A and B are shown apart, each in its own frame.
Chain A
Amino acid sequence: MTAFVARRLLFAVALVFVVSSATLLLTRLAPGDVTAELGPFAAPAEVAAARARLGLDRGPVEQWALWIARVGRFDFGDSFLYNRPVRDLVGRATANTAILAVVALLAATAFGIPLGIVSGSRRGTAATVIRAVSLVCLSVPPLLTSLLLVFLAATTRWLPAGGMTSVDALDGRWSTWLADLATHLPLPALALALPIAATFERLQAQSMAEALQQPFVTAAAARGVAPREIVLRHAWRVSLRPICGVYGIAIGTLLSGSFVVEFVTAWPGLGRLMYEALRARDIYLVAGCAAMGGWVLAAGMMVGDLLLAAADPRLREQGRG
């Protein structure tokens, strides 16, 4: 077990290192730099001072080496665009994205798994309807769903059409903040969750159908166990295995999908931050976002693997790593 965790941690550190260094160097080598934010007619002295502050007057390798040294002390540099430390910005944005991603994942699980059990364990109209809806949801990308939902929200004004919080929640109480968040979450979470829920549903249906064909199921039926019991108690646990495997990849999909959803619904998350940073070539902010993205990814994979081990005792025996 410890060997497994150690290997995963090593992988995580390697991932973060490679990803953030790569983006740092890429951004540095890209044409133009963030001082274009100062406008076309800024005084040359101002521009030069800004470049020096960002370390842009040194060579790329030297800048990278200095940055690595700072990262060792957990100092990720300052963002020129927002004029604050990268650590604060990235931390806050990641929390926002995490809220969105967790809610989306929970919603996808809550909808996808039960529906998959239903459609995988029986035939008839219910199963066909679920399957059809699932296919459609799979095919609609978060880009289109979020555009559509924002449009609906704007015209019907049932829900806020974007952002994460409203002005009305300013009196600072936890309950109002939560209630406010609850009105802003459905839009982006739904756009993000739909394809994932559909994937879960399809996977669950598939593996449930396969599990139901196993010999132990026929044996249980012969023993006279009720169908519902077979499905829920016996077949389901076996069918969970592929789902847990997918959970690990789902993190990557969530991050990818959250980018476009955050963009369209103006959710102040990591994807949006990274986009703005890349656009403006705000070098330390880009590297910080990439590092955080890598970290989240590695953590998600670790969680996925742990879930897999929990679901399938055989893996635990092998000491898989």
Chain B
Amino acid sequence: MQTRLTRIGLILAGAGVLAALVVVFRFGSSGPSPAPELRRGGQIVASLRSEPRSFNRLVSRDYATEVVTLLTQGRLARINRATFELEPWLAEGWESSADGRTHTLRLRPGVTWSDGTPFTSADVLFSLQAVYDPKAQSVLTSTLVVGGQPIKAIAPDAQTVVLTYAAPSGPGLRLLDNLPILPKHKLEAALMSGSFAAAWNSTTPPAEIVGTGPFVLREYQPGQRLVLERNPRYWRRAADDGALPYLDRIVLEIVPEQNAELLRLQAGELDLTSSELRPEDYVPVREAEKQGRLRLIELGVGPDADAFWFCLKPEVKAKDPRFKYVQRPEFRKAISHAVDREAFAETVFLGAAVPVWGPITPGNLQWFWADVPRYPHNDQEAQSLLATLNLHDRDERDGETVVADLDGVEMRFTVLTQRGISWYERGTAVLRDELAKIGIVLDIVPLEVGALIQRLLACDYDAIYFRPMATDLDPAGNLDFWLSSGSAHFWNIGQKTPAADWERRIDTLMLEQAAALDPARRRQEFNLVQQIFAENLPALYFTAPRLYYAHSARLRGVVPSVQRPPVLWSADTLSVTN
């Protein structure tokens, strides 16, 4: 027995020494190696939060489909997500008529699909046809109507397309950025037989997915990853006339959880994550950057800010005694005065945010207006505004003061927000503390996003704190938010007519600027819209976060954008150093 024990002891000791040696050698990690000039080839691994529900961007709007389409398909014209300029893409150039309603596009010659079939104007006509076909149930239909009518397209020859808009359009050809051109020779049969909605779904063999983009789908392992390889027939060439893309392969790993994503990024298993960093991830990434494994970049100010609004639907809220105060702009102005935006930015986004007073943030470079009316932090001003509404302090039990009117109706509200998001939790906590100082008591209720949406749509809430994402940076693409009849007019969804004079003015101005051709005039009208919005405050905005992003140190040619995906939108210029 003694010898057996000593034998076991020796083995254990040996294993311990071995383990110690491994530890020592592991932690003697190497520093970053300097990167020389451009290298062709190599692969990168990016992550996606969910699987694509389909490979057909015309019928599916989820994020994974969008990313795959960006990598494999092309558009006639592309909006550069860093400069926001419209660039010729599959269309080499165009002429527009004076009234802005007719556009003649010249297609780039020599472009072929990834299977060798030539790309012609027939494909453009086919794609538009699919968008407007009712049986196809396309999700892009509403984004590609002008003046309520579909865009008419004719093709005088194989290299020319003439688009006719039913009315003048402010965005003009920028609408084409929404339309990926799909191959007629692959999908025509599906469209004709009425099964387009199911065409190119996630069970389609990858060889069928043909495109003009820099990469081609090679393999899809459900639940795990998508593998894309470079398209040897990609039309675009680099500035020095070298072939693009530089990379041989992009792998999109499906990592459903953001914590797991970050872990893999730090471990070197991922080069790119699917979204910007959360404020609390800044420190671990900074550590990794110091060791040379990652690079931390600031994308810019985010284009969307968190919004706080009350449900302003008279049909539902008329019986609520608090509603007659909530619907007054003075009430909402008081709230805007009561919030110290600098402190908000400090606490909620850990200092990485800028104050905003309207829905358009400095991140939306082309449409942001710095002279939007502001409400400086001033508790006395807030309280005097409340006093003009005859709301005065009332002492409560537990030392809590609530303002109430002469009938004793207290300004106490329940605020719904999405649970599990740390900046919503901190934001609502700060709001609650700031508003308690002027006597408005908030009760925060975090909900699952499904339940939150249900109650939002039914106006079954007092107030909500949430970040609705705009679909388009151009306000003309967000008419469903700005127009009173819009489906995303979230404080009062499904209005039939404007409820107030200012809403009517905004409606008129928005429709005008959506149809105006002169960019200066559009800006002027939209600034006015922003002013009216800030004067009436149907929704309150406090800060817009600065977006940070991290990618592996081996990437080159990164052009960051505040829109998602931050790096993959320009995947054809990416390269790696090893």
Contact = CB atoms under 8 A, between A and B. Distances in A.
B168 to A, nearest CB: 26
Contacts of B142: 43
A70 interface: no
Contact of A84 (B22, B203, B269): B203
Contact of A170 (B227, B256, B457): B227
A36 B450 contact: yes
Contacts of B203: 84
Contacts of A150: 263
A266 B456 CA distance: 32
B222 A40 contact: no
B223 interface: yes
A88 B220 CA distance: 14
Contacts of B54: 83
A313 interface: no
Given A82-B51, A84-B202, A157-B26, A41 B225 contact: no
Interface in B218-249: 219, 222-225, 227
B251 A82 contact: no
Interface residues of A, number: 38
B268 A154 contact: no
| Residues of B contacting A: mostly | mixed
A161 B263 contact: yes
Nearest to A272: B256
B552 to A, nearest CB: 13
A268 B224 contact: yes
Nearest to B223: A268
B5 A126 contact: yes
A92 B5 contact: no
B45 A167 contact: yes
A190 to B, nearest CB: 16
Contacts of B268: 157
Contacts of A83: 51, 53-54, 201-202
Interface in B445-475: 448-454, 456-457, 468
Nearest to A36: B450
B256 A166 contact: no
B484 to A, nearest CB: 15
B276 interface: no
Interface string B472-515: 00000000100000011010000000000000000000000000
Contacts of A49: 137
A77 B268 CA distance: 39
Contact of B223 (A92, A162, A281): A92
B269 A43 contact: no
B263 A43 contact: no
Contact of A154 (B223, B225, B227, B266): B266
Contacts of A170: 219, 227, 251
B253 A167 contact: yes
A84 B53 CA distance: 8
Contacts of B51: 82-83
Q: How large is the interface on B (under 10, 10 to 19, 20 to 34, 35 or more residues)?
A: 35 or more
Interface in A61-111: 82-84, 88-89, 92-93
B257 interface: yes
B432 interface: no
Nearest to A32: B450
A31 interface: yes
Nearest to A166: B269
A84 to B, nearest CB: 6
Contacts of B137: 46, 49
B224 A266 contact: no
B139 interface: yes
A174 interface: no
A299 B499 CA distance: 64
Which of A84, A89, A92, A125 has most B Cβ within 10 Å? A84
Interface string A156-169: 11101111111100
Contact of B26 (A124, A126, A156, A280): A156
A266 B251 contact: no
23 contacts: A31-B451, A32-B454, A36-B450, A39-B453, A40-B457, A40-B468, A40-B490, A41-B468, A41-B488, A46-B137, A46-B139, A82-B53, A82-B222, A84-B202, A126-B5, A154-B266, A156-B26, A157-B26, A161-B269, A167-B269, A266-B255, A276-B256, A281-B450
The 8 closest A-B pairs by CB, nearest first: A36-B450, A83-B53, A40-B453, A41-B488, A32-B450, A266-B260, A268-B223, A167-B251
